[in-house]
Structure 1
Amino acid sequence: MWKTALKPRWIAGFIFAIVVSGVFVLLSQWQFGRSTSPETPVNPDTENVRPLTGILQPGEFFHGSDADQMVSATGTYDPAKQVLVPGRLHDGKTGFWVVSAFAVDGAPALTGRAASPQTWIPVARGWVADAADAPAPPSGRVELTGRLLPSEAPVSGKAAGPGEATAVSVAELINYWEISSYPGFVSATAEVAGGADVSAAAAPGKLLPLDIGPQPPAQRINWLNLFYSLEWVVFAGFAFFIWWRLVKDDYHRDLEEAHDEADPSATPHQHQQKVQP
């Protein structure tokens, strides 16, 4: 059968099948790319800086629509309320996030036995490779700008070391610092104190900025496009099947012709019986 397949017309047919199947595979990839799309587009309004006190309220749940919002707040840091969160990556290196408590001016005060006179919010100020390189937060009145993010879940089964937290978890930090807090945290992009930006992004030092952008939206699957992408793959395989079938039929015709030449007295019915595939 290989001798039949190596005929010039079937070699040309095989090349044609490759071209056709290649087109079908490209169509499959195109349909597959269209099978997933964002559920909602990235909201450009999150990049417009808004006051933290007008976005989020202490004592309430963190609303998903508030995530990634750029916010601003004025207040002060407490150098005694700072922790390191280990196991954080930056440019492929593992280090620590430096997280400090920030007392927000004008924030509503919570009530209750465990409530503190001021309301705070954790601020992830930057990343350091070595815990000893973590600087103290800026002193005095600070104008903070950053991205508002939901609280992380504490890492279960893992005990935090001295001066560390397992995650930027509000539930964990309020017990560690004994404060009232907003139900989220801020990734700082600017910290203006005394008219100068002293944040990790502006001041030289070993504290590096986090550069956390808006999170990509969730994806949804278009099942019809996904089905079409699989269908084109089947068509690509079918192109080779048709070529193989035509070669096989030609091979059988060659056998019949060869048998006729060898036994010209045989009837067509006998030919059919003797050359049965």
Structure 2
Amino acid sequence: MTGEVCSGPDGMVERISKIAVEGLCHPDAGSLLHAYIACLSIPDLCLAITKTLAAPSKLRLALRRRLLRLLGDGNLQHHDRQHLHDLIERSRAAGQDNPAVRPVVEALLSAAFEFLPPPQQQSIIEAWIDRGTRGAAARWLKAVTQVPALFDEKVVMAYFRSTDDERAAKRLASQASSAFLTEILSELADRCEEGWIVSRAAMRADAVAEAVWPIIRSKHPATYLYLCARLRRRISEADALELVMTCPNSIMNQTRGLAIWAVGQMGMIRVLDEVVARGEELHRRDVEEFQRFPG
């Protein structure tokens, strides 16, 4: 062996930085980087992450991946989890004091969130909600997916009403209670652009009120047909054909396929035959719609 062995976190971080930042001229530099990081104890790893919040991404991400791998294994002792708690609190403080590292801190909090103790999770998610930005919203919406106990359907709906952010609508469609979905379904149908969100919410709701069906039909014709097929709602062949012919099959909105699938599920052979017969008309509509898109 050559050279003096560096002990302590500073010495190890120096070695790791030499590879990740300065660049080590060695055929196995990548493997050596991760091997050196694996030698760090949990306290030293947490300290190294704290010290490198402003470092180049290659070093930061390598350290974070090691931390997440250890957390995912689930074998951390209580004192190691205390080091993780302290790392998160130090990082949050650093993000508040130094806006330059705040995005790095936010990414770390989001990546480690599901492994944190509940009180710390609650504190972080409240801070994200209070911040009120779309970036922060993306993080807390992801967090409530990972930790369903933190999901508050009323808070998410209030955010959706104020922003029309469909990420919130997706969470509601997937996680809100069936009774709450019944209550808000008309708003989702009216304000969402993506029909699958409406269909998921409708399928999970206790019921779809009669007043909601016309909204779905007007805003999301393919979704309307899909729900008629799934929920066995009666629809005439003439109405089904009209809706199929209304649905586009463009790059930006390919919903006609779903409408045709729904017609097939309802056994409407004559409607399918009519769709076949009107193929040229549908092709012409598709071409015209495509030509309307810029570029």
Q: TM-score, normalised by structure 1?
A: 0.22
The structure that is helix-richer by fraction is 2
| Larger Rg, first or second structure (1 or 2) | 1
Q: TM-score, normalised by structure 2?
A: 0.21
Which structure has the higher relative contact order (CA within 8 Å, separation 6+)? 1
